[in-house]
Amino acid sequence: MEIPFYQEHWLAIPFKMVRGSESYKDKVADASFYESFYKTLFDSQKGLNSDWLAQKRAVSEWIEATFLQPMRNSLGDSFRILSVGAGMGAVEEPWVRRGYHVELQECTEAPLRRFRAFYPEVPLHICDGKAMHLPDNSYDLV
């Protein structure tokens, strides 16, 4: 199911500045849009907005306290997490540092290049989130 979500900018990048964005006026963004978006973002040299990053870290902490830590207490350290639509991995990075077994999915590799450089051991799945070819029961939390 696709749910249209309308925005004019994200991470201080107006979508009209993203190459090819005019072709997405009547459809949901796909890998080619995100590839162009992240190229625009990284080429802009603006860096990540500290408020955005703080919000991502707060979400990460809430998920860890609400789900991950109780699961670790119950299942031990071996439980597996799949993060779908991970973006740049800002939410998941603290989990990796704390020893959780996390795998990330994103539709394009562009946002995860920095993450991959710092965490080459973490499995990344670059594919459409609607068509992931992963075995059933591979993860304890998605």
- pLDDT in the model for residue 54: 94
What is the SS3 assignment for the chain? CCCCCCCCEECCEEHHHCCCHHHHCCCCCCHHHHHHHHHHHHHHCCCCCHHHHHHHHHHHHHHHHHHHHHHHHHHCCCCEEEEECCCCCCCCHHHHHCCCEEEEEECCCHHHHHHHHHCCCCCEEECCCCCCCCCCCCCCEC
Residues of the chain with pLDDT under 70: 1-2, 4-5
- pLDDT in the model for residue 1: 64
- pLDDT in the model for residue 117: 97
- pLDDT in the model for residue 23: 72
- pLDDT in the model for residue 129: 84
